[in-house]
């Protein structure tokens, strides 16, 4: 049976300063990985994640690069190459988690071309090219996990463009898994449902009736926690998931079954 232990492995988690990304970074570090805590703007939040990981005996460092902007991928990997050698012997990579994303809640009639392009730049283009450049560094037998969304299979008209970006991510995972199979690299999507994070705070935390309705979407009757998703990602990045690739793993608590 495979182990979840990630000792000796190097991971990069995008959007790891808050929410699901934060939980993933802490979980992977807890299994022994050296974790690159990528963030876009909030230095304080990323530093807090690194501090929490180190306080628990793990290894991590923060890396800033604003995805969706010109030169974003180059800035990310240049920073990675420069910083990772301060913590390990080389610039190799074992685990990439494409978690960073944005969601602007707007129905199709209210979606501007600018908003549409911004979501695709951050949610689709950035993961594609981050992964492309990661492959130069990734060791055979590595792991790529793309954080998708239950919105890719469930109809939410108020987030049409966002849902489209996550559908693209699922296709990306499947086709990249086929391409990288000969190297023993697995690629999967993890599909959360409604999770209590900052990105959902505006509509989820203000009204108890709204919160109850959100909880009832799940068959398990509650809103998801970041750790619920992080545990699934930890499995997929481990040896225990060596025979799982090209899949969309639902981590939504059975939402809208």
**Residues identified as active-site:** 148-149, 162, 166
224: number of Cβ within 10 Å? 25
Residues in the chain: 257
* DSSP symbols for 55-114: HTT-EEEEEE--TTSTTHHHHHHHHHHHHHTTTSSSS-EEEEEE-------B-GGG--HH
19-30 and 226-236 helices, crossing angle to 10°: 50
Phi/psi at 194 (nearest 5 deg)?
-80, 120
In sequence order, what are the beta bridge partners of 237?
none
**Extended beta strands in the chain, E state:** 10-13, 34-39, 59-64, 93-98, 138-147, 186-192, 248-251
Q: Is 195 left (phi over 0), alpha (psi -120 to 50) or beta?
A: beta
- Going by the DSSP 8-state scheme, the letter that residue 206 receives in this structure is S
């Amino acid at each position: 049976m495979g182990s979840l232990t990630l000792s000796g492995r190097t991971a990069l988690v995008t959007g790891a300063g808050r929410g699901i990304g934060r939980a993933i970074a802490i979980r992977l570090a807890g299994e022994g990985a050296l974790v690159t805590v990528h963030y876009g703007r909030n230095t304080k939040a990323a530093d807090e994640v690194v501090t929490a990981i180190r306080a628990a005996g793990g290894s991590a460092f923060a890396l800033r690069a604003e995805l969706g902007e010109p030169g974003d991928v180059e800035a990310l990997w240049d920073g990675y190459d420069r910083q990772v050698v301060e913590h390990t012997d080389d610039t190799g990579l074992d685990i990439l988690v494409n978690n960073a994303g944005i969601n602007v809640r707007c129905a199709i009639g209210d979606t501007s071309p600018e908003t549409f392009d911004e979501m695709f730049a951050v949610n689709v283009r950035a993961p594609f090219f981050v992964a492309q450049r990661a492959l130069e560094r990734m060791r055979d037998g590595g792991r790529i996990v793309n954080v998708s969304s239950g919105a890719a299979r469930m109809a939410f008209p108020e987030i049409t463009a966002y849902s489209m970006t996550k559908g693209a991510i699922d296709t990306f995972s499947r086709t990249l898994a086929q391409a990288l199979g000969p190297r023993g690299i697995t690629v999967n999507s993890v599909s959360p449902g409604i999770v209590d994070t900052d990105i959902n705070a505006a509509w989820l935390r203000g009204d108890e009736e709204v919160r109850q309705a959100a909880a009832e979407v799940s068959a398990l009757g509650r809103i998801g926690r970041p750790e619920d998703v992080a545990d699934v990602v930890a499995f997929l990045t481990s040896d225990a998931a060596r025979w799982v690739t090209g899949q969309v793993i639902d981590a939504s608590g059975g939402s809208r079954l």
